[in-house]
């Protein structure tokens, strides 16, 4: 089977192992009154799949999971499932305390999702035993495979990740912490503690392309791409360059597009979502503003973003002309 030729009937882990394109984390579209705009959301998801996304992660961090009611969440997940029509898997977010995370998991299953991204529990800083209990209950609540999201108040020891890898229904770990020493020890511990397993790892840092060369050195080839929301051609070119070992293209895009974007993203709290949403609007799809407690980027930051996007596409044209 050629690279990326994944059959839609295969288990989620198999479909994600060698993706044909970036993992797409769509923003959630809101109308002028702040209500969820399912028509625009459907268009956003549809465009992403047609552009070459390998999977849709609906209502996760970039999709403002924290700002959605359960009803809005389920409506968006169902819309994503309908728009993908089985062409690529749909993974839905699930979070908050254990009872609510279980509820969101079941809503996602009812909506037809193929899997879950289990985000950190709300507020509390729990010990390893409590974290394991939380994710085991989420995994047991549905038949959906679960990827656990490590970040903020959900940071695991290597021994705990071994236990997660042994848990029925848990298929992977997405890292949003960025501690490469910890990740190397986690990968090693699971490799020796669960030999022969196919546990998945994802680079889940904001603008993961910026750090993906480092993660690849650990054997972690999967990563989330928020840039794909507004510049799919750039995200695809970078993804292809990594797969083909084209360091010249990867470095050109890192130096001329991704690094400037990351530096701009650092200018405001919540810009990992708000700046992405501004990018989608700049590219012609009115997905509305972010919901509180996030805030919109400053006007001059949006202007800088427009120039960075233009520069990114110019770099693609330059590369194509060589």
User: Is 149 annotated as catalytic?
Assistant: yes
Q: Select which of 30, 41, 135, 149 is catalytic.
A: 149
**CB-based contacts of 223: which residues, under 8 Å, 6+ apart?**
22, 23, 202, 203, 204, 208, 209, 212, 215
Spatial neighbors of 266 by CB under 8 A, at least 6 apart, are none
Catalytic residue among 135, 174, 271, 277: 174
> 277 catalytic, yes or no?
no
Q: Which two tokens stand for residue 37?
A: 């705009």
Contact by Cβ (8 Å): 236, 252: no
- How far apart CA 19 and CA 22 sit, in angstroms, is 7
Catalytic residues: 149, 174
């Amino acid at each position: 089977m050629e690279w990326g030729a994944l059959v839609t009937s295969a288990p989620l882990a198999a479909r994600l192992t060698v993706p044909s394109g970036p993992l797409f984390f769509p923003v959630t579209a809101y109308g002028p009154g702040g209500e969820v705009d399912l028509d625009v959301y459907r268009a956003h998801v549809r465009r992403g799949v047609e552009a070459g996304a390998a999977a849709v992660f609906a209502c996760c961090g970039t999709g403002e999971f924290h700002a959605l009611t359960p009803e809005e969440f389920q409506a968006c997940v169902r819309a994503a499932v309908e728009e993908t029509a089985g062409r690529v898997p749909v993974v839905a977010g699930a979070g908050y305390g254990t009872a609510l995370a279980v509820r969101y998991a079941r809503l996602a299953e009812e909506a037809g999702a193929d899997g879950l991204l289990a985000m950190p529990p709300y507020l509390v800083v729990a010990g390893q035993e409590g974290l394991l209990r939380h994710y085991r209950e989420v995994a047991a609540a549905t038949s959906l495979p679960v990827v656990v999201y490590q970040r903020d108040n959900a940071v695991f020891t290597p021994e705990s990740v071994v236990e997660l890898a042994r848990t029925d229904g848990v298929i992977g770990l997405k890292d949003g912490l960025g501690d490469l020493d910890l990740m190397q020890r986690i990968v090693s511990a699971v490799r020796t503690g669960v030999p022969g397993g196919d546990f998945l790892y994802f680079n889940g840092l904001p603008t993961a392309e910026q750090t993906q060369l480092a993660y690849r050195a650990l054997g972690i080839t999967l990563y989330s791409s928020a840039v794909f929301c507004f510049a799919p051609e750039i995200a695809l070119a970078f993804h292809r360059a990594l797969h083909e070992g084209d360091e010249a293209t990867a470095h050109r895009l890192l130096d001329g597009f991704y690094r400037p974007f990351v530096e701009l993203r650092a200018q405001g709290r919540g810009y990992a979502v708000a700046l992405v949403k501004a990018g989608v609007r700049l590219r012609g799809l009115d997905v509305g503003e972010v919901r509180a407690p996030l805030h919109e980027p400053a006007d001059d930051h949006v202007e800088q973003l427009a120039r960075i996007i233009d520069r990114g596409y110019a770099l693609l044209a330059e590369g194509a002309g060589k």
